[in-house]
Amino acid sequence: MAETGKIVEITDQNFTEEVDNQTGLSMVDFWAAWCGPCRLVAPIVEKLAEDYAEEGLRVGKLDVDQNQEIASRFGVRSIPTILFFKDGELVDQVIGLVPRTQLEELIQKHLVV
């Protein structure tokens, strides 16, 4: 996820490069095309990617149907699930549809630390 402000498609194949090996804060949205709540959270995730690009937030989306290895690795059983990684380490998670304010609180918390 070298470019900030843009959402990167995360896959089983590129997860190490795009998340594990990154410095700073990364937010990964685990979703599926058939998931109604995922469609509702998508514009929130897109807007957060834009709004926090200058602060260095990197945002990725991972389709759980196409990338089951990474979803399994992190125990993702419900979607949407959003995982937060700081310097490649899992630091927080949100399961289900949550308000933008809750996601912003986590972003701000981990951008500062």
So which residues are the catalytic ones?
Answer: 35, 38
Q: With residue 1 as reference, give the H or E element that holds it.
A: none
Residues 6 or more apart in contact with residue 60 via CB below 8 angstroms: 1, 7, 8, 9, 10, 18, 19, 26, 27, 28, 29
Sign, CA torsion 88/92/4/18: positive
Which residues, 6+ apart, have CB-to-CB distance to 77 below 8 Å? none
